[in-house]
């Protein structure tokens, strides 16, 4: 595992004329909307005309695992569902009492997610349906309103409610499984009744049956067969219901895929428009006037070269200085269009170079086990570069901290924090809007928290294979 943790000062910037840009332009790698991730399916698609070959829920190993898990859920399921009911009831009941019930409702919402996540992981681990990883839903809105929106999104998360519904059904099947185990154990005991009871009657655990000792062996054999067959049927029913409840339908998968693809395409188009506008502005306001000035200065030098060689020499020196400044601006603009170090040495080295050029001191903490796709790294690099620019130009920050991690081996996550004045907002056509568009084009998410007075934190997460 490679790790980089360093601190950079802004006084390492290259010398440039006073009117040169205050910070390097962020990289512009034209986002190519990648194909959206394949929706989770129960199995790989079969050839046309052939039946789909999904996970075998009736295999002996999965069947035995399902029965064992149902027996466990028959014990803990009522406790979990009862806890949810208590949190919801107490929360609603105590809301009039100084709003104390809100704390219980927040606990209910996150207990809902936790139980739904555990149920999804249990089902996917047992049957291998390939369910997508479940993460808490978050709002991109900042401040208290964003917190309330996050709680609302989490409360209406369909994945969590599907997990709760499946847990409730599994609890019923679990209680039935425990009863069937009791009947099976009593049935086996009846088979050996002649060894300990020759007269009288014997009872069957879990039922109100009373069996005469003379019929104990026959009844025990029948009950053992029936209870064992019923246990197998309950295990099969659990697999069928798990697939029906926990695995999204093909229509839902296609709808989500289409929605994701449309959002990525729209984000890519908006990001390209914003970057094209920025490049045009930088060329029109920076390089173009400077080159015009160089041309005019050289023209004046040409007129004076015979009559006043000293003045012509000064003008040529001035043109030479302006030309070097124009080259510096073009180099920064080119670096913004494409950061070659990102392709050559990876995100950690590119961020180190970026931090060394920042006018605000940067604490950089990058821990990556490997490389992600070019689009994912470029999107995160762009977000961090633009955030550092905002910290220097608008936030009046004294220090910035950048943290980059690879989460779950599949998500590239970054967080940029500064101690500036805060109050950052998403404005159409602005820098933060460009970040949101670029991250959306890569299939990722953005979260901004910037209360008035600071501090400001920006979190981005992008699929590593986007």
CA distance 348 to 414: 12
Model confidence pLDDT, tens digit, residues 41-67: 333 333 333 333 456 777 888 899 999
CA distance 311 to 320: 14
Last residue of a domain, one of 289, 311, 337: 337
- Average pLDDT in the 184-200 region? 78
Model confidence pLDDT, tens digit, residues 370-391: 788 888 888 888 888 888 888 8
332 in the same domain as 195: no
For residue 65, the number of C-alpha atoms closer than 13 Å in the C-beta half-sphere is 15
Of 80, 40, 1, 82, the C-alpha closest to 367 is: 1
Last residue of a domain, one of 337, 354, 370: 337
Beta strands in 169-241 (DSSP E): 201-203, 210-212
Count of the separate structural domains present in the chain: 3
437 in the same domain as 365: yes
428 in the same domain as 311: no
242 in the same domain as 97: yes
What is the pTM (predicted TM-score) of this model?
0.55
User: Does residue 351 belong to any structural domain of this protein?
Assistant: yes
Query: Is the pLDDT higher at 196 or at 457?
Result: 457
Residue 361 belongs to what domain range?
Answer: 341-466
Cis geometry, peptide bond prior to residue 439 (ω within 30 degrees of 0): no
Query: Is the pLDDT higher at 269 or at 358?
Result: 358
CA distance readout (Å), 411 to 26, 76, 145, 407, 442: 22, 33, 27, 5, 11
345 in the same domain as 333: no
Last residue of a domain, one of 320, 337, 354: 337
User: Does residue 34 belong to any structural domain of this protein?
Assistant: no
% of the chain at pLDDT higher than 70: 75
Mean pLDDT in the chain? 77
297 in the same domain as 214: no
Query: What pLDDT is attached to residue 31?
Result: 40
**Tokens 């998968």 sit at which residue?**
253
Strand partners, 400: 362, 418
């Amino acid at each position: 595992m490679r790790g980089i943790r360093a601190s950079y000062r802004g006084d390492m910037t290259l010398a440039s004329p006073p009117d040169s840009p205050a910070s390097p332009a962020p990289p512009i790698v034209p986002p190519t909307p990648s194909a959206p991730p394949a929706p989770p399916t129960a199995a790989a698609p079969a050839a046309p005309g052939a039946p789909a070959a999904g996970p075998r829920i009736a295999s002996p190993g999965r069947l035995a695992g399902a029965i064992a898990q149902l027996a466990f859920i028959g014990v803990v399921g009522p406790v979990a569902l009862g806890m949810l009911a208590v949190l919801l009831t107490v929360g609603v009941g105590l809301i009039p009492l100084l709003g104390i019930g809100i704390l219980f409702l927040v606990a209910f919402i996150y207990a809902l997610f936790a139980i739904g996540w555990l149920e999804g992981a249990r089902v996917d681990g047992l049957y291998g349906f390939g369910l997508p990883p479940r993460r808490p839903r978050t709002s991109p809105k900042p401040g208290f309103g964003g917190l309330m929106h996050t709680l609302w999104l989490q409360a209406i998360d369909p994945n969590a409610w599907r997990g709760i519904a499946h847990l409730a059904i599994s609890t019923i099947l679990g209680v039935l499984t425990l009863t069937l185990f009791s009947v099976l154990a009593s049935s086996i005991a009846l088979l050996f009744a002649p060894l300990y009871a020759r007269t009288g009657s014997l009872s069957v655990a879990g039922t109100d049956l009373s069996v005469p000792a003379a019929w104990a062996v026959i009844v025990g054999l029948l009950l053992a067969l029936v209870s064992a067959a019923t246990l197998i049927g309950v295990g099969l029913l659990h697999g069928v219901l798990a697939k029906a409840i926990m695995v999204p339908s093909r229509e839902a998968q296609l709808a989500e895929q289409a929605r994701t693809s449309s959002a990525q395409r729209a984000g890519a188009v908006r990001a390209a428009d914003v970057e094209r506008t920025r490049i045009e502005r930088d060329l029109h306001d920076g390089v173009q006037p400077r080159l015009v000035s160089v041309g005019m200065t050289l023209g004046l030098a040409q007129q004076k070269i015979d009559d006043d060689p000293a003045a012509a020499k000064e003008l040529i020196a001035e043109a030479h200085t302006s030309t070097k400044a124009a080259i510096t601006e073009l180099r920064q603009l080119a670096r913004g269009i494409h950061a070659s170090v990102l392709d050559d040495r990876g995100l950690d080295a590119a961020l180190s170079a970026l931090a060394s050029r920042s006018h605000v001191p940067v604490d950089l903490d990058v821990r990556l086990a490997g490389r992600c796709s070019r689009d994912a790294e470029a999107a995160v690099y762009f977000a961090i570069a633009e955030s550092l620019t905002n910290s220097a130009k608008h936030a009046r920050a004294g220090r910035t901290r950048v943290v980059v991690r690879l989460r779950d081996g599949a998500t590239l996550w970054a967080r940029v924090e500064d101690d500036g004045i805060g109050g950052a907002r998403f404005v159409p056509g602005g820098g933060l809007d460009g970040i949101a568009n670029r991250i959306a084009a890569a299939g990722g998410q953005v979260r901004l928290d910037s209360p008035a007075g600071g501090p400001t934190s920006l979190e981005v997460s992008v699929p590593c294979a986007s």
